[in-house]
Amino acid sequence: MSSSTAATTAEAPRPPAGPAPRGGGKGAGFMSGPVGRNLGLVVALVVLCIVGAVTAPDRFVDVDNVLTILRAAAVIGVVSVGMTFVIIGGGIDLSVGAIVALSSVWATTLATQAMAEDVHWVVMVFTALAVGAGAGLVNGVVIAYGKLVAFIATLAMLAAARGLAEIIANRRTQIVQNADFLAFFSGDVLGVPTLVIIFALVAVAGWVLLNRTTFGRRTFAVGGNAEAARLAGIRVQRHTMWLYVLSGLTCGIAAVMLMARTTTGSSTHGTLYELDAIAAVVIGGTLLIGGRGTIVGTVLGVLIFTTLGNVFTLNNLSSSAQAVARGVIIVVAVLLQMRLATGSFSLRRLGRGSDAGSPPAVAGAAGTVSGGATPGGPGGPAPGATTDRA
């Protein structure tokens, strides 16, 4: 066989010609990209702020109210950063709220606080982080190596962690007695609350980890196409485990922040945090099927939901109406994701042929996927597959 014939047979077959996707063009391409999606979120946040300023002009624009919004966003925001990694990696974590509760209870037991008095209040912080990371490790091992579906595994952890928190606390609220702990986390730096600064630091660290490290590139690869990532040399099981450890660690950080904000550790902390975190991540543009997402979008999603709740509260609207509004916003956000990614509202097309669901480039993580193999053959990508990261 001649070299020209071999080169011809090694080429990937061209995808069949079809109608151009609706809404094409530079405008649609820009809006379906990360910058366009984040710009849309900024516009939505600005519109909410305008509504709040018009409906409650004296209270909404007050500096204290703005700081209240940021403090409320800080705790759930930290949890959402960890949730972003899990969902981009193709998983889901329903246990984050229960892990926050368990971490806060364990860190405020009499034994832990007595040790903190004898040594340093950092003992309480370390305990919360260790409990959160440990619970995340259990989730990761069961899901990655036990082959249990993430939904079921984290649902079981939700029940178990909440129940263990109730047993440890004996269904009572534990008061934080360490004054130095409260003074540090309840203070501010140049007028900015410490909790908000912690949220900002976690968000920046998450952005760097996701966009500037091998760990982040592997996360996109595993979420976009786990089998292609495995063929590229990525240890998918181990990486999946570390994603859930990271989620548990952010839950431990959130527990410390919640302990400082409420001065308590309780088994009721973190109730429905899993829904709030998932909602913020989805609003921020992260695909629930994995493979695409941004930390900036998640932060904007958290701020949108927190501002919405604040506007509802200032206008004396019920929490039930707020819940309905959140549900509607989530549905609309998912529909817009599918529309921008595929030109239609079909989830099947999103997972089958769009750039959002296609396997991302993993050459920077662990080499190429195919290694020169014929597309569609053993060890090679499927015909027509793309490697563009959304």
Residue 45's pLDDT is 87
Query: Cα-Cα-Cα-Cα dihedral of 15, 360, 241, 212, to 10°?
Result: 180
What's the mean pLDDT when you consider all of the chain? 80
pLDDT band at 206 (very low <50, low <70, confident <90, very high): very high
Among 268, 270, 269, 277, which Cα is nearest to 326's? 277
CB 178 within 8 A of CB 113: yes
Query: For residue range 185-195, what is the model confidence (pLDDT) as tens digits?
Result: 888 888 889 99
Name residue 264's beta-bridge partners.
Answer: 175
Asked if pLDDT for residue 214 goes beyond 50, the answer is yes
Q: What is the mean pLDDT of residues 348-369?
A: 43
74-78, 156-160, 187-191: the lowest-pLDDT one: 187-191
pLDDT band at 344 (very low <50, low <70, confident <90, very high): low
Query: For residue range 23-70, what is the model confidence (pLDDT) as tens digits?
Result: 444 555 555 566 767 787 888 888 888 988 888 888 888 888 889 899
Residue 256's pLDDT is 94
Q: Which residue has the higher pLDDT, 266 or 341?
A: 266
Q: What is the mean pLDDT of residues 336-352?
A: 56
Name residue 193's beta-bridge partners.
Answer: 188
For the four alpha carbons of 173, 179, 185 and 189, in that order, the dihedral sign comes to positive
Q: What is the pTM of this model?
A: 0.78
CB 96 within 8 A of CB 75: no
Asked if pLDDT for residue 130 goes beyond 50, the answer is yes
Residue 3's pLDDT is 47
Q: What is the mean pLDDT of residues 288-302?
A: 90
Distance of CA 183 to the CA centre of its chain: 29
Give Cβ neighbours of residue 288 (< 8 Å, ≥ 6 apart). Answer: 87, 92, 282, 334
